[in-house]
Amino acid sequence: MSARMALRQVGYENRSFWRNPAAAFFTVLLPLIFLVLFNSIFGDSELTIDGRNLDGSTFYVPGIAALAVVSACYTNIGMMVTIARDLGILKRVRGTPMPPWAYIFGRLAHAVLVSLLLVAIVTGVGAAAYGTDVPGNTLPGLALTLVLGALAFCALGLALTAIIPNADAAPAITNATILPLLFISNVFIPLQDPPEWLAFVGDVFPVKHFAAALQTAFHPDTTGAGFEWGDLAVIAAWGVAGTALALRFFSWEPRR
């Protein structure tokens, strides 16, 4: 009964999401716009990042894939769940017999599915328009990185809702926490020779590790299955921390 409720919940989240043009636009089209823009401007440049040589499009396809996952999971969950909370939708659901985990599952599973769809689109566009490699032997590493990353950013998004005071503040706080990280994490801008402190700050947070693990999976020279265990460990640690904070501080009540 509960499992069926949880699965149905994914369906309802999915339907709601695609019917909201603004949400669908920002989540789906924005990464594609960035992909085209950055590739058009920097696609042909030769880059050296952390001692590894790659061309612009091999940098940007996994970078924008990382952006897509972060926005579908962290940004989307952080904003939409806060808005649902302040509208009283969470409280409404809490008054029904549906277990709370089933509702959260619906939200997370939907975000993960949207992430995977976006990564597929970004990869397809990258291969078709910019001749980037579609991962083959590194598919296991890519899959694990994507699922682990998506779940970790979902957990962090849920934890973030606890510090967002109200729906009006949700977009500002969500973007303020993630945009700077996207700039120092090899997503928008290749950091070829960053100042030491900037590299350090980037290394502390999960976005840079996520982008790096994806870049390994997309790099044509990568041999083996493409697991970047060091990066995955940092991502997982953030995921665990996000889960613990969300479990402790998540609120179903509107905060007006």
Partner 1 sequence: MSEFAVEVRGLRKAYGPVVAVGGIDLAVRRGEVFALIGPNGAGKTTTLEILEGHRRADAGNVRVLDEDPAQNAVSLKRRIGIVLQSTSIQPYLTVEETIEQFRGYYPAPRLLDELIDIVGLEASRKTLVRRLSGGQQRRLDVAMGLAGDPELLFLDEPTTGFDPAARRGAWEMIRNLKALGKTVLLTTHYMDEAQALADTVSIIRDGLIVAEGTPDELRAGEAETVISFRFAGALADLPPAIATAGSLENGRAVLRTTDPTTDLHELTGWAKQRGEALEGLSVTPASLEDVYLGLAGDVAE
Nearer to partner 1 among residue 76 and residue 138 (C-beta): 76
Using the rule CB under 8 A, is 166 a contact of partner 1?
A: no
Binding residue count for partner 1, defined by CB under 8 A = 23
Burial class (CB in 10 A: 0-12, 13-18, 19+), 193: exposed
Residue 52 binding partner 1, by CB under 8 A: no
The residue (of 51 and 97) whose beta carbon lies closer to partner 1 is 97
Q: Give whichever of 87 and 134 is closer to partner 1, judged by the CB atom.
A: 87
Q: Is 255 in the site for partner 1 (CB under 8 A)?
A: no
What is the end-to-end Cα distance of the chain in Å, rounded? 34
Residue 247 interacting with partner 1 (CB under 8 A): no
By the rule CB under 8 A, 88 interacts with partner 1: yes
What's the min distance (Å) between Cβ of 87 and partner 1?
5
Note whether 96 binds partner 1 by CB under 8 A. yes
101 binds partner 1 (CB under 8 A): no
**Cβ 134 to partner 1 shortest distance, Å:** 34
Q: Which of residues 5-44 bind partner 1 (CB under 8 A)?
A: 5, 8, 12, 15-17, 19-20
Could you write out the DSSP letters of every residue in the chain? -HHHHHHHHHHHHHHHHHH-HHHHIIIIIHHHHHHHHHHHHHTT-EEEETTEEEEHHHHHHHHHHHHHHHIIIIIHHHHHHHHHHHHTHHHHHHTSSS-HHHHHHHHHHHHHHHHHHHHHHHHHHHHHHH-PPPPSTTHHHHHHHHHHHHHHHHHHHHHHHHH--SGGGHHHHHHHHHHHHHHTTTSSS--SS--HHHHHHHHHSHHHHHHHHHHHHH-TT--TT---HHHHHHHHHHHHHHHHHHHHH---S---
Q: How far apart, in whole angstroms, are the C-alpha atoms of residue 28 and residue 25?
A: 5
Q: Which residues pair with 46 in a beta bridge?
A: 55
Interface residue with partner 1 among 73, 84, 144, 150 (CB under 8 A) is 84
Distance of closest approach, residue 99 Cβ to partner 1, in angstroms = 8
Least gap, CB of 108 to partner 1 (angstroms) = 17
Minimum distance of partner 1 from residue 252's CB (angstroms): 9
Cβ-based nearer residue to partner 1, 17 or 210: 17
Backbone torsions φ then ψ of 167, nearest 5 degrees? -60, -35
Q: Binding residue for partner 1 (CB under 8 A) from 87, 139, 233, 247?
A: 87
> Could you tell me the smallest distance in angstroms from the CB atom of residue 186 to partner 1?
35
User: What residues line the site for partner 1 (CB under 8 A)?
Assistant: 1, 4-5, 8, 12, 15-17, 19-20, 84, 87-89, 91-92, 94-99, 253
